[in-house]
Structure 1
Amino acid sequence: MDVDTLLAKRVRELRKSRGYALDKLAELSGVSRSMISLIEREETSPTAAVLNKLADALGVTLASLFSDESRSVPEQQLARLSEQQVWKDPASGYVRRHVSPSGYASPIELVEVTFPPGQSVAFENALRNVVTYQQVWMLEGEMEITAGEQTWHLQSGDCLAMELGQHIVFRNPTRNQARYAVALTTPSFISRRP
């Protein structure tokens, strides 16, 4: 399934399963009703920032929007490279590969990101509906990650752990492509720290 088709289907299914009209999801996410409608009709490719807002309002992780949980296939323990969903952010050009096997019951989701030189992406959600922990492991190149008031400069081999829930900016300040792995978890038994 084409990634834009999958995203349209997932947003629509999640919205309807929660009983949200377009107006309600727009109110909860801060994304316009018309933009959500365009996404659901596959008439636009949403940016990473828009998808993050929608995922948060729907109470899921961004990575789960790329997983076709409605397929009637048994859980897969192996995700072959050729079967992994790949998506390109139309705003920054970063490429996101959903590495984890689709539908496998695991508290961890793995994503690989290839980030173009000189580009940045900002995630605005200050308060999240889903507690999400993330670790970013630099495989190649360098990235600057700013969460709230703190900025880290990551180089190849470095790993940064954080709880999502504040303004976060990913920026590649170099002239070279960067590549990193992201591990996400949303443990239901962990409550938000004060």
Structure 2
Amino acid sequence: MDINKLIAGRVAALREASGLSLTALAERSGVSRSNISLIERGESSATATVLDKLAGALGVTLASLFEAGGDAPTPPSPLNPAAAQVVWTDPMSGYVRRQLSPALRSPMQLVEVVFPPGQRVAYDQVRREADVHQQVWLLEGEMEITVGEQHWRLAPGDCLALREDQQIVYANPGRQPARYLVGLVTLPFAI
């Protein structure tokens, strides 16, 4: 499976479903129109921060950009075999994410991440159409996570709960890769 083609199809489908032009999505996300066009054609390996900006502007989680489209003739299976799980590598930091959850439309998603030593990724949270909560459970290595002004250093076994409503910075200060599980839950905003 070509991961760039999968992302291309998802971004284009979500943009069209939202009734947004390339220009409107560019204005909402802060990502240039030309970059979005390249991503939608599968001609660009977007970084994690760019994909997060697009996901926020489209009102979805980053993890949902790695799901297969909903145009399949049969309902999605509740099983996502290891061999079918989508794996993506951030071209900037080299972190590897594996989409563990099945392609069901569920408010909960699970993602496994292997984060290289000495790397850092910052997500500037944009307006979302839903309230996204996540928990990060560190399995191996060490991680530093900063949410807004708060900072934590995680050791194996530590679990941190946070909301995606402000800047989040992930960094691996160690000499070994860090491996962690991210559980994401998406809730509609209360009216």
Same structural fold, with TM-score higher than 0.5 when normalized by the shorter chain: yes
Instruction: Find the residue that maps to 2:97 and give its secondary structure.
Output: strand
Write the distance in 2 (CA, Å) between the matches of 1:113 and 1:172: 12
- Quick check: 1:78 aligned with 2:79? yes
- Counterpart mapping for 1:38-77 below 5 A: 38-70=38-70, 71-77=72-78
- Quick check: 1:179 aligned with 2:182? no
Shift of 1:73: 3.0
Shift of 1:107: 2.0
Shift of 1:159: 0.3
Q: CA RMSD in A?
A: 1.3
TM-score normalised over the length of structure 2: 0.95
Give a deviation string over 1:12-56, Cα, whole Å, max 9, x none. 111111111100000000100011011011111000000000001
Q: Give the residue type in structure 2 aligned to 1:89.
A: D
Shift of 1:126: 5.1
- Counterpart mapping for 1:86-97 below 5 A: 86-97=87-98
Give the equivalent residue in structure 1 for 2:20.
20
**Structure 1 gap ranges (5+):** none
Checking the alignment, whether the CA contact within 8 Å between 1:131 and 1:191 is kept in structure 2 is no
TM-score normalised over the length of structure 1: 0.94
Write the distance in 1 (CA, Å) between the matches of 2:86 and 2:74: 16
Write the distance in 1 (CA, Å) between the matches of 2:105 and 2:31: 30
Q: Give the residue type in structure 1 aligned to 2:78.
A: Q
Q: Give the residue type in structure 2 aligned to 1:55.
A: A
Checking the alignment, whether the CA contact within 8 Å between 1:127 and 1:166 is kept in structure 2 is no
Checking the alignment, whether the CA contact within 8 Å between 2:30 and 2:53 is kept in structure 1 is yes
Checking the alignment, whether the CA contact within 8 Å between 1:118 and 1:175 is kept in structure 2 is yes
Give the equivalent residue in structure 2 for 1:115.
115
Shift of 1:2: 1.3
1:10–1:126 CA distance, 2 compared to 1 (3 A): closer
Instruction: Find the residue that maps to 1:187 and give its secondary structure.
Output: strand
* Number of residue pairs matched by the alignment: 190
Checking the alignment, whether the CA contact within 8 Å between 2:134 and 2:184 is kept in structure 1 is yes
Give the equivalent residue in structure 2 for 1:191.
190
Shift of 1:72: 2.8
Which runs of at least 4 in structure 1 moved beyond 6 Å after TM superposition?
none
Give a deviation string over 1:161-183, Cα, whole Å, max 9, x none. 01111011000001100000000
State the identity as a percent. 56
Shift of 1:125: 1.4
Q: Give the residue type in structure 1 aligned to 2:186.
A: T
Checking the alignment, whether the CA contact within 8 Å between 2:56 and 2:127 is kept in structure 1 is no
Checking the alignment, whether the CA contact within 8 Å between 1:56 and 1:130 is kept in structure 2 is no
Give the equivalent residue in structure 1 for 2:160.
160
Instruction: Find the residue that maps to 2:157 and give its secondary structure.
Output: coil
**Structure 2 gap ranges (5+):** none
Write the distance in 2 (CA, Å) between the matches of 1:97 and 1:187: 22
Write the distance in 2 (CA, Å) between the matches of 1:136 and 1:191: 25
Checking the alignment, whether the CA contact within 8 Å between 1:63 and 1:98 is kept in structure 2 is yes
